[in-house]
Structure 1
Amino acid sequence: MTEKNTVTIIGGGLAGCEAAWQIAERGCKVCLIDMKPLRFSPAHHSEKLGELVCSNSLRSNDRTSAVGLLKEEMHRCNSLMMRIAYETQVPAGKALAVDREKFAARITEIMANHPLIEITRQEIFAIPTPAHGNPPVILATGPLTSDPLAESLAELTGRKRLAFYDAIAPIVAADSLDMSIIYCKSRYDDGPGDYLNCPMDKDTYLKFIDALGKAECMPLQEFEEAKYFEGCLPVEVIRSRGDDTLRFGPMKPVGLADPKTGEDPYAVVQLRKENREGTTYNMVGFQTKLTYPEQQRIFRLIPGMAKAEFARLGSIHRNTFVLSPELLQPTLQFKIRPDLLLAGQLSGVEGYVESAAMGLLAGINGARLVQGLALVVPPRETALGSLVFHLTESDPLRFQPSNINFGLFPAWEKKIRKKYRGEERAQRSLAALEKWQLAVNL
């Protein structure tokens, strides 16, 4: 597709597919370009579009949480990702987790069958130059953007790109776990007990963190700098910050009383279903850059995992993002090139939901560019607007990728009791979203 009214999207992940859906549903043509299976990033393995890599969890479903509110806003904006997530949902307490294979398969099917979307399997080495009439281009290649394309982006912006490192948690086979030790329970019994819990007493915990602290990690390449996103630290990095950091982090035992003793263990490793069938489980919060042999040795020290078989071991990869406060308009257009929009984690958001949310907004504005309509920016009071504000109004010297959180929202104009703040945020946000949708005819 090369027509003037065609939007080109580079990248077939969550952001790219969400953008394609938003554009096509508005009657505009889309050329969706993805390099798989011609080439895979270090973290991707499937030929399917919309592949989830790090986890199968989309986090809290409660609209009184920031991410739950963001999901509700996206749902009200006809988000494809949210619709398919609920179609392929697996039990995870109050969290929204999906069957990753079914999720990607369904996204791929919808993209392939939409009459206004054409999929091209091709690696793009440079950002397309502006064409006659400047048909829009959306760059949604994600945090693992290839080196040639990242270099092209750096040349376009004239600024050195930034990088941080993200680690992937291991997945274990359910039938290799010792259920005489492990027990099912959600924290504070909040839900039907969708998590498996591996309890540790103090002695076991100290032996575990001692082994973890001495374990061998994968070395960084010469060009790499160890710069981690605080919201997704490798488990060994957390351990290096003190003996109790894991017990107050991913191994927090509070609210997870062992039914055998009726008391909270000293520490707990939680496992979450990776698929509907419950044949595999994800090690919650156990992102890691340990070598593969060390992962197997260390993680088999966890009670109930002595004979664990790993369906996937953890790994580390470079994540790339741009300095959005200096480069992007609130419409997600580049300041220096309005026909080029940025979507997904490359823009400086963190997380699957946030990535898809930026794809949603880039898609809406990409379609409006083609249609000759004024571009839109969601209200500051909304989760969508707060993410955009973070990307475009943050101090460039302090800018760091971020998940959605209430700290990004406008400050309260009056004191509100803490237990009411979540619902108050939700009501204000959804009211502002509805008013905005009516005003811009979304």
Structure 2
Amino acid sequence: MSSPVHVIGAGLAGSEAAWQLAERGHRVVLSEMRPVVPTPAHLTDRFAELVCSNSLGSDLPDRAGGLLHAEMRLLGSFILQCAETARVPAGNALAVDRDRFAEEVTNRLSAHPLIEIRREEVQAVPQEGVVVVASGPLTSAPLAASIKAITGSDALYFYDAIAPIVEHDSLDLSICFRSSRYNKGLGGDGAEGDYLNCPLNREEYRAFVDALKTAERMPLRDFEKEDEQFFESCLPIEILASRGDDALAFGPMRPVGLEDPRTGRRPHAVLQLRQDNLAGSLYNLVGFQTNIKWGEQERILRMIPGLGKAEFIRLGQMHRNTFINSPTLLESGLFLRTRPDLFFAGQIVGVEGYAGNAATGLLAGINAALRIEGKEALVLHPDTMLGALCHYITHAEPKHFQPMKANFGILPELPAEGRPRDKQLRGAAYSRRALTRMEGLAAGIALSSSPAHPAASNA
């Protein structure tokens, strides 16, 4: 047998890549540095631990995230299979009980006969053999230095902020009301939605914004002070508040599609809470990433109606995320241009969002298997969401390269003739085109099953 593939990092991308390789009959060494070397963001040693939101995004096929999910399912995504076993109510989104999800991923990978787990810090990229680097946004300093030495390029970074989690029993349910926007994702009796909502009137909202503007933030560590860069789709609430009094009301606190049952009217602003575990005892503050000092956080968040006596299981924090300049380094098949047996996947390539990270791990795993088998790497058509993401990160303008998440804006335009004007119908048309192309491709990938593992389904 050939030498095992070394997968570095057991986050979403590394876990997916390792599974794809093993299911195709290839031996894998999966290295994860936790708990030997902890990170500022992780709490456990489990694989695929979700450190921010517990939602993998919309599951609707006419949404960009939902389309990516559909493509991943066609390709046999391991991460989405595990997510289904830990799914919790979240309207039309795919949200999970994060502990059960990580436990499922860890147990299944640990039990696979072709996967060897090593709890160790990999300080240098192996010089020989097929390697998948999925070390994530918190790549250790020695490994980052090794990557820099191989690529000859400086790594870029931005800051990712984590949202707080609150105990359900500490919420004031005489103020919080259960509803989804426009009544979507209602329960079977049509009476309740999947989110708890904390409504604010104009005065309450203004006071909250003013408090955010003057809040004291956690100091960045020395190595994080060089160049503060924020990813626009994951901005801390205090940064949004500093951009204008109405920024939050038009962003994560937008009240559209909601009605306060106490007044019969739409609130001026609203904080939505999403169930974070299967028991329904924990709720995530949706879109409320923050880096405010913890004492200040509790005080300011308790200004929101319904959170006056809130008990926070986790408070927000911000950490440095490292990613490579993929447009100058990678081919669309996610391998290094100067070393075709070295693959990168996950946030380190500049893909944002849980599903996007896992999807790049899926493609890197498939292509690493194809490389071992002496076959051409798979390059997905940019009509597909995963193909568009990979095309974007490898063809963007290098000087201003920033992470990208799944969105219809990176797909090629639909033909002008017959193009729907309605946004939702247009999304459905993009999805039909993408899935038609991906369905045919998935069948082709299935034909490339390794003889060493003939029962594995590669589609």
> Structures share a fold, TM > 0.5?
yes
Q: Is the 8 A contact 1:6 1:370 kept in 2?
A: no
TM alignment of 1:87-106, pairs within 5 A: 87-106=85-104
Q: Is the 8 A contact 1:325 1:396 kept in 2?
A: yes
Residue deviations 1:4-62 (CA, integer Å, cap 9, x gap): 34111000001001001110110111110001111111101111111111010011010
**What displacement does 1:431 show?**
1.0
| Amino acid across the alignment from 1:285 | G
Equivalent in the alignment of 1:188: 182
Equivalent in the alignment of 2:106: 108
Equivalent in the alignment of 2:421: 418
* Structure 2 unaligned residues grouped into runs of 5+: 187-192, 448-457
Equivalent in the alignment of 1:42: 40
The reply on whether 1:428 has 2:433 as its aligned counterpart is yes
Separation of aligned partners in 2, 1:414 and 1:376: 29
Residue deviations 1:114-171 (CA, integer Å, cap 9, x gap): 11111010011111112xxxx2000000011111111111111111110100000000
Equivalent in the alignment of 2:342: 340
Residue deviations 1:329-382 (CA, integer Å, cap 9, x gap): 111110111111001010010010000000000000111111222211111211
SS in 2 for 1:101: helix
Equivalent in the alignment of 1:159: 153
Q: Is the 8 A contact 2:393 2:404 kept in 1?
A: no
Q: Is the 8 A contact 2:236 2:290 kept in 1?
A: yes
Equivalent in the alignment of 1:212: 212
Separation of aligned partners in 2, 1:406 and 1:165: 24
Q: Is the 8 A contact 1:64 1:426 kept in 2?
A: yes
Separation of aligned partners in 1, 2:133 and 2:154: 17
Separation of aligned partners in 2, 1:232 and 1:146: 23
TM alignment of 1:348-363, pairs within 5 A: 348-363=350-365
Q: Is the 8 A contact 1:73 1:384 kept in 2?
A: yes
Q: Is the 8 A contact 1:5 1:370 kept in 2?
A: no
| Amino acid across the alignment from 2:216 | E
TM alignment of 1:197-276, pairs within 5 A: 197-223=197-223, 224=225, 225-276=227-278
Separation of aligned partners in 2, 1:20 and 1:355: 14
SS in 1 for 2:222: coil
**What displacement does 1:418 show?**
2.9
Q: Is the 8 A contact 2:87 2:97 kept in 1?
A: yes
Q: Is the 8 A contact 1:200 1:303 kept in 2?
A: yes
Separation of aligned partners in 2, 1:183 and 1:437: 43
SS in 2 for 1:302: coil
Separation of aligned partners in 2, 1:439 and 1:169: 41
Separation of aligned partners in 2, 1:418 and 1:293: 48
Separation of aligned partners in 2, 1:271 and 1:320: 29
Equivalent in the alignment of 1:145: 139
Separation of aligned partners in 2, 1:304 and 1:233: 24
The count of corresponding residues between Structure 1 and Structure 2 is 436
Residue deviations 1:391-440 (CA, integer Å, cap 9, x gap): 11111123210101001101223151233211111111111112223345
Equivalent in the alignment of 2:283: 281
* Structure 1 unaligned residues grouped into runs of 5+: none
Match of 1:118 among 116, 121, 126: 116
SS in 1 for 2:272: strand
| TM-score, normalised relative to structure 2 | 0.93
Q: Is the 8 A contact 2:134 2:346 kept in 1?
A: yes
Match of 1:25 among 5, 17, 23: 23
SS in 2 for 1:418: coil
**What displacement does 1:255 show?**
1.1
Separation of aligned partners in 2, 1:385 and 1:175: 44
**What displacement does 1:328 show?**
0.2
Q: Is the 8 A contact 1:49 1:107 kept in 2?
A: yes
| Amino acid across the alignment from 1:165 | Y
**What displacement does 1:220 show?**
2.2
Separation of aligned partners in 1, 2:38 and 2:379: 34
Please report the RMSD computed on the Cα atoms of aligned residues, expressed in angstroms.
1.1
Residue deviations 1:218-257 (CA, integer Å, cap 9, x gap): 1223332221000000000000000000000011011110
| Amino acid across the alignment from 1:198 | C
**What displacement does 1:187 show?**
0.6
Separation of aligned partners in 2, 1:219 and 1:336: 39
| Amino acid across the alignment from 2:54 | N
Equivalent in the alignment of 1:175: 169
| TM-score, normalised relative to structure 1 | 0.97
SS in 2 for 1:165: strand
Equivalent in the alignment of 2:189: none
| Amino acid across the alignment from 2:214 | K
